[in-house]
Amino acid sequence: MKANMPSNEATRLDTLLDYRILDTLPEASYDDITLLASEICGTPMAAVSLIDSTRQWFKSKVGLTITETPRDHAFCAHAILQPEITIVNNVQTDKRFTDNPLVTGDPWIRFYAGAPLITSKGEALGTLCVIDQVQRTLSEAQVNSLGALSRQVMAQLELRRHIGLHEQNQLLLKDYHDKLERTNALYQQQSITDDVTGFNNTRFLHQYLDQFLTPTSAKTKRLSLVFFDMDNFKRVVDKQGHMLGAKVLKEVAQIVHSYLDPEDRIVRYGGDEFIIILPGKGTGEAMAKVEAIRKGVSTAAYLQQEKIYIKVTASFGLATFPDDARNKKQLLMAADQCLFQSKKGGKDRISTKGAIP
């Protein structure tokens, strides 16, 4: 006879799925309980049976070779309908089971006892059952032990569920942490990036120099700093407008960047003024590079996509640490003074500073 559906079938199935136990591999903690149930009750067969929507699936079993049966054949589908242990001493005299294929055929069930696996909310997920091929009865002690063992199965299910939730939360936490790190890295990158050119800004400049120019750097490191700004750039803006003027600055920055080594940096300092950072380069090596940059800037045609093809030039000031300055402030002032000399001397040129005493 087909068992009736529990009144809470929908929520019962949702809860069963929430435990994520169906179709999992065997586990010793369940197998130990099943073995104990078989030995205590003196039956050759025992199982932890879970009732899914259309099947009975065995998480653990003793004396059984099958891993599941149709739900319509499951004795446990009847046992989950009541909170007490279901005991059928002779299944052949119980109309619910007389024509059951598990009675009329292998494994030739004649005795069944099933203790329901009930959650804290009263949902019966399945049973811890013991089975025999001969009629028999259980003593009160055996019945009590079967009930106690069924509660241990539920304790294992709860523990497994909590471990699974913990692992899931750990994964979620790691994912959140990774996203947070990526977001922070993005914000950090944005905070040191110039909106107009896409290269570095003054925040990056000061962070870089503070890290590079330590009190001991003068003994082991060299760094050349180049200030440059565009000559007569106001004329470009007055004629082309601020939008195209900004595009010219971006194209200038891209040309300068094309001359730089991987460790070099270009910074938009403000307006049409830029700074080039040349770590590890003394005045002579830096001077050769800046001269190539100066020529590259002055010979390029800008706003080609707009078919305007304007020309611009830039003036440069070069200072080197530790030859021309002993700290960040001195280095910035020295390079700025050299830029002023280039502007005063006729523009489109490079000026350097002699070593400080």
Question: What strand order describes the sheet that includes 273-279?
Answer: 265-270, 273-279, 223-230, 314-321, 350-352
Domains and CATH numbers, the chain: 9-167 (3.30.450.40), 202-352 (3.30.70.270)
> What's residue 216's pLDDT?
79
Distances (CA, A) of 118 to 47, 93, 121, 315: 16, 28, 8, 83
Answer whether 273's CB lies under 8 Å from 202's CB. Answer: no
Q: What angle do CA 146, 147, 149 make, to 5 degrees?
A: 65
Q: What angle do CA 110, 85, 89 make, to 5 degrees?
A: 25
pLDDT digits (tens, 9 = 90+) for 147-186: 999 999 999 999 998 998 888 889 989 998 999 999 998 8
pLDDT above 90: residue 137: yes
- Residue 24 neighbours by CB distance under 10 Å: 12
Helices 28-41 & 140-191, crossing angle to 10 degrees? 170
Strand pairing of 314-321 and 350-352?
A: parallel
Q: Give the three-state DSSP class for 227.
A: strand
Mean pLDDT of the chain: 94
pLDDT above 50: residue 356: no
**Token pair recorded at residue 140:** 């009160």
> What's residue 217's pLDDT?
73
- Residue 51 pairs with which residues in a beta bridge? 56
Q: Give the three-state DSSP class for 86.
A: strand
